[in-house]
Amino acid sequence: MVDKQKRGNQHITTRIVQANGVIDPQTGGVVPPIQSSTTFARNADYSQISPDHLYARDDNDLVRLGEDVLTKAEGADAGLLFPSGMAAIAAVMRTVPNGGTIIIQSQIYWGTTKWVRDFCARRKIALHEIECSETAAIEAAIDAHKPNLVFVETPSNPWLRITDIEAVAKACGGVDATLVVDSTAASPVLSNPLAFGADIVMHSATKSINGHSDVLAGFLATADAQSEIWQAIAMDRHDAGAVIGSFEAWLLIRGMRTLPLRMERMSENAMKIAEFLDGHAQVEAVLYPGLKTHPAHALATKQMPNGFGSLLSFQVKGDAKTALEVCSKLETFKRATSLGGVESLVEHRHSIEGDATGVPENLIRLSVGIEHIDDLIGDLNQALS
Ligand SMILES: *Cc1c(COP(=O)(O)O)cnc(C)c1O
């Protein structure tokens, strides 16, 4: 992997692997201890025993460490962990006033689209769903609607569309809109949207950041901790209490140590699978930004200099029945939703979303894990034949 990004005097790979090099000050432990207490005692004169520890909703050292590692990895000014990706998205959206305007990218993660539609209807917020990977279309929409907030997802799930973050950031700047980028499919080691002008980057840390399919978490990071919107998000998290617990934060930090290594292997495996599928007689189309035939391959290479990630979709020749047959024959790929874990997963999105969202019935989405490539390609080969 070409990790050229340094934070201070170290590459982000080194910082993530060493969890910022933190040693437990009490014992010298190279792994941080789990502090489970929710409250912290005071001295007889009522002063705090530790000035940094009063009540666990805010004062959780493991949450602080996880936030610090991810904030540095994104090259951000500040970052906050949430109990899930959706909780992070909800915290951002709640900053938009009643009667305001939001643009979200169309055909993205279905959970986002569904929640934002309901939220905007309840709050009398005008919602426009625009295909942000078409730069001229999103520029025109920003100009016409003058939104408070623009939310893009790149690469998008399950279409693998790539949005030009720099161009959209510029258009947002012109109308004072906040640009939020869901960078879940890329992870902080493959792409840093703030460097291209996004105001806030969002992750479902449930996916590759944790990487072991055993923690739900979300993350937001900002380019400007003093901005009004970030202050509102920080206050909302503090006052409304959307925090993760000590054990989840500990697992997250443990999982993150191998994030650079996992993303490297996943990207390598996904690339080989994309090439295999691209040449297969039973396959109609492969959607993967690493392929030279992907319409935004050049842009993806610019925005994701370290690899193209684990998410990949392909369309089989045939209908829903054919696609479901292929899914049912897979053995190494497990039939389950989610992505970014060490184990490879397969998902038939049309079975989940139906006709309403436009996902083709012959589309199969893969989350490529870190298993041996021959076993993964062998499994796909037997399922397709
Ligand atoms: C999974 C996912 C989310 C939601 O995150 P949760 O942790 O499941 O709440 C948001 N965006 C994308 C792109 C996702 O894949």
Give pLDDT, residue 356.
85
Peptide bond into 155 cis (omega under 30): yes
For a ligand 1 pocket test, name from 206, 215, 347 the mutation site with the most ligand atoms within 8 angstroms of its C-beta: 206
Which atom of ligand 1 is least distant from the CA of 185? 13
Token look-up 């959780």 returns 60
Cβ–ligand 1 distance for 361 under 6 Å, the answer no
Cβ–ligand 1 distance for 83 under 6 Å, the answer no
Ordered domains of the chain (ranges, CATH): 6-256 (3.40.640.10), 260-384 (3.90.1150.10)
Give pLDDT, residue 10.
87
Give pLDDT, residue 236.
94
Q: Where are the alpha helices (DSSP H) in the chain?
A: 12-17, 61-73, 85-93, 110-123, 135-145, 165-175, 228-240, 246-256, 259-278, 297-303, 320-329, 349-353, 373-384
| Closest protein CA for atom 6 of ligand 1 | 85
d(CA 384, CA 122): 45
Within 10 angstroms of residue 48's Cβ, the number of other Cβ atoms is 13
d(CA 361, CA 55): 50
How far away, in angstroms, is 85 Cα from ligand 1 center? 5
Calculate the average pLDDT of the chain. 96
Check: CB of residue 327 under 8 Å from CB of residue 247: no
Cβ–ligand 1 distance for 184 under 6 Å, the answer yes
Instruction: Write the single-letter amino acid at 355.
Output: D
Give pLDDT, residue 3.
67
Q: 237-296, pLDDT tens digit by residue?
A: 999 999 999 999 999 999 999 999 999 999 999 999 999 999 999 999 999 999 999 999
The DSSP annotation for 224-277 comes to -TTSHHHHHHHHHHHHHT----HHHHHHHHHHHTTHHHHHHHHHHHHHHHHHHH
- The segments of the chain whose pLDDT lies below 70 read 1-4
Task: Supply the pTM of this predicted model.
Answer: 0.97
Cβ–ligand 1 distance for 309 under 6 Å, the answer no
Check: CB of residue 202 under 8 Å from CB of residue 232: no
Check: CB of residue 203 under 8 Å from CB of residue 74: no
Residue 196 DSSP label:
G
Distance of alpha carbon 139 from the chain centroid: 24
For a ligand 1 pocket test, name from 82, 104, 157, 213 the mutation site with the most ligand atoms within 8 angstroms of its C-beta: 157
Give pLDDT, residue 4.
67
| Closest protein CA for atom 7 of ligand 1 | 85
